[in-house]
């Protein structure tokens, strides 16, 4: 639809699924369209409208709780749960309490996210507890909307001049409608996307500052710095990465230091809770206690297999080993293939391994992967397969939680374990597609026109300085 940039890729002509569906709206674009004749409606502006519509569907999905209040188990049976009003109440933000000071009542969130949640609470008008919680959710919705629009624009820019429509995979994603309003995770996701775009524009210091801010909002952007490191190792472009890493470290210190002085216990609360906690919702390490729970097949009972719960220490060890596995996979994929993988491809695979092996995989955590998936594998079929499994799990996890208070209406453990596996399979499908594209770059649609890496920045087009040969 946006013809200003000559050679802009049209999904209705390149993507098989979109091409098959395009007759519904008049067929593939291009036969009667010429560059520069579409006025104000550029690709990015169209996608911003799409993003608003998608988020509006998310607001509708949360409307029951917004109108009736976030009460248990009602919020789970209507699948309209959100951390936002819950945190507002449980962390006493409505009373003006600081998120990281007080008598142990610390906000269990990384610092920048906690400060953002606190700032939203400061502008909530006076009223009853129900009205204030509703106001908090509404103001947070506006913040999430701004973050989403920024993320879509950043994704379009990161895809390169020829592929802005790849950002539609973010703007129209069911993950946005379902999970964007569960928490403020889009703050870290948007900052991480901005950092990668700065790297793509060969601004290593700016990239480091943004990735450092992202790390103080969500911890996972540290993995993005690692991804840039192994790609720098392959190309020998260490000077740019060193500046990025240095800027990231300085930014993290600058954000954390004032709070360290005020309350080290407060800002470390979320990390200590992670270390001490067991397997959370979504984690594959829940399977021994859910998949084997009652009611279960007779053959399992006859075999004497009983459900068991992994200890917090065991789960922590497995999660750490998952990170080690992700780093090892990242190094292999960066240094072994004949052609260097793209930044988005490598980042997606590394982060996906960490998510799959983590101590918890809340529904909103899949938003971390969404922009990377759109850039790594811009194919609607594959991302819709993943989104479909996420949508099914989204409903089932709330029913499973509801079973804790209303067992006869909730979801049993074995069924929840099954849907957890289905969700993991959906993500593994996309991971498999991306790994295949890395190993066979001729199948990578982004590189089909000779493009090296839209996010490559200092390493784009650079000759190899280090390649590992196996066997």
Tens digits of residue pLDDT in 49-100? 999 999 999 999 999 999 999 998 999 999 999 999 998 888 878 777 677 7
| SS3 label, residue 294 | coil
In this predicted structure, what is the pLDDT of residue 237? 92
Confidence (pTM): 0.93
Rounded Cα gap, residues 20 and 380, in angstroms: 12
Vertex 113 angle, CA 111 and 116, to 5°: 110
Q: How far is CA 359 from CA 126, 312, 387, in A?
A: 38, 9, 21
Query: What is the three-state SS of 399-417?
Result: HHHHCCCCCCCCCCHHHHH
| SS3 label, residue 233 | helix
Percent of the chain with pLDDT over 90: 72
In this predicted structure, what is the pLDDT of residue 5? 43
Residues of the chain short of pLDDT 70, as ranges, are: 1-6, 12-13, 15, 19, 21-39, 97, 102-106, 297, 299-300, 471
In this predicted structure, what is the pLDDT of residue 339? 94
Residues 434-443 as b or e (16 or more Cβ within 10 Å = b): bbebbeebee
Q: Is the peptide bond before 160 cis (omega within 30 degrees of 0)?
A: no
Maximum alpha-carbon separation in the chain: 71
In this predicted structure, what is the pLDDT of residue 404? 86
Is residue 38 within 8 Å of residue 1, measured between CB atoms? yes
Q: How far is CA 421 from CA 132, 205, 252, 314, 409, in A?
A: 38, 41, 36, 20, 22
Is residue 319 within 8 Å of residue 359, measured between CB atoms? yes
Vertex 367 angle, CA 389 and 218, to 5°: 140
DSSP label at residue 337: S
DSSP label at residue 225: H
Rounded Cα gap, residues 153 and 48, in angstroms: 8
Rounded to 5, what percent of the chain is helix, strand, coil?
65, 0, 35
DSSP label at residue 23: G
Rounded Cα gap, residues 332 and 324, in angstroms: 12
In this predicted structure, what is the pLDDT of residue 91? 80
């Amino acid at each position: 639809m946006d013809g200003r940039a000559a050679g802009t890729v049209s999904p209705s002509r390149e993507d098989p699924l979109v091409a098959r569906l395009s007759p519904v709206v008049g067929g593939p674009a291009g036969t009667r369209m010429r560059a520069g004749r579409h006025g104000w409606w550029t690709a990015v502006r169209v996608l911003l409208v799409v993003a608003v519509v998608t988020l509006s569907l998310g607001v509708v999905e949360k409307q029951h709780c917004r109108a009736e209040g976030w009460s248990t188990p009602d919020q789970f049976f209507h699948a309209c749960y959100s951390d936002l009003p819950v945190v507002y109440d449980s962390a006493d933000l409505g009373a003006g309490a600081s998120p990281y000071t007080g008598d142990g009542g610390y906000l269990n969130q990384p610092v920048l996210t906690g400060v953002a949640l606190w700032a939203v609470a400061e502008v909530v008008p006076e009223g009853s507890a129900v009205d204030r919680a509703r106001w908090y959710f509404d103001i947070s919705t506006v913040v999430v909307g701004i973050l989403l629009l920024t993320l879509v624009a950043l994704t379009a820019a990161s895809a390169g001049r020829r592929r802005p429509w790849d950002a539609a995979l973010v703007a129209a994603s069911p993950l946005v409608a379902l999970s964007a309003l569960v928490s403020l995770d889009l703050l870290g996701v948007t900052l991480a996307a901005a950092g990668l775009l700065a790297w793509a524009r060969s601004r290593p210091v700016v990239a480091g500052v943004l990735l450092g801010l992202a790390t103080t909002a969500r911890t996972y952007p540290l993995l993005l710095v690692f991804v840039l490191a192994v790609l720098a190792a392959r190309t020998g472009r260490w000077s740019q990465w060193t500046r990025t890493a240095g800027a990231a470290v300085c930014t993290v210190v600058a954000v954390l230091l004032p709070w360290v002085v005020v309350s080290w216990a407060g800002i470390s609360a979320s990390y200590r809770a992670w270390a001490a906690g067991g397997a959370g919702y979504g984690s594959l390490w829940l399977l021994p206690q859910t998949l084997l729970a009652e009611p279960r097949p007779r053959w399992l009972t006859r075999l004497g297999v009983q459900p068991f719960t992994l200890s917090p220490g065991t789960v922590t060890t497995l999660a750490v080993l998952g990170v080690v596995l992700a780093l090892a996979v990242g190094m292999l994929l960066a240094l072994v293939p004949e052609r260097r993988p793209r930044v988005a491809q490598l980042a997606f695979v590394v982060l996906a391994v960490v998510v799959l092996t983590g101590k918890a995989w809340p529904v909103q955590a899949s938003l971390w992967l969404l922009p990377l998936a759109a850039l790594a594998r811009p194919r609607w079929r594959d991302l819709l397969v993943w989104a479909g499994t996420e949508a099914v799990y989204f409903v089932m996890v709330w029913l499973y939680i509801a079973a804790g208070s209303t067992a006869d209406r909730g979801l049993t453990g074995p069924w929840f374990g099954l849907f957890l596996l289905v969700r993991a399979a959906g993500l593994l499908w996309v991971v498999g597609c991306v790994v295949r594209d890395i190993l066979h770059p001729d199948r990578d649609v982004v590189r089909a026109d000779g493009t090296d890496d839209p996010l490559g920045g200092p390493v784009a087009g650079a000759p190899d300085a280090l390649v590992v040969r196996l066997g």
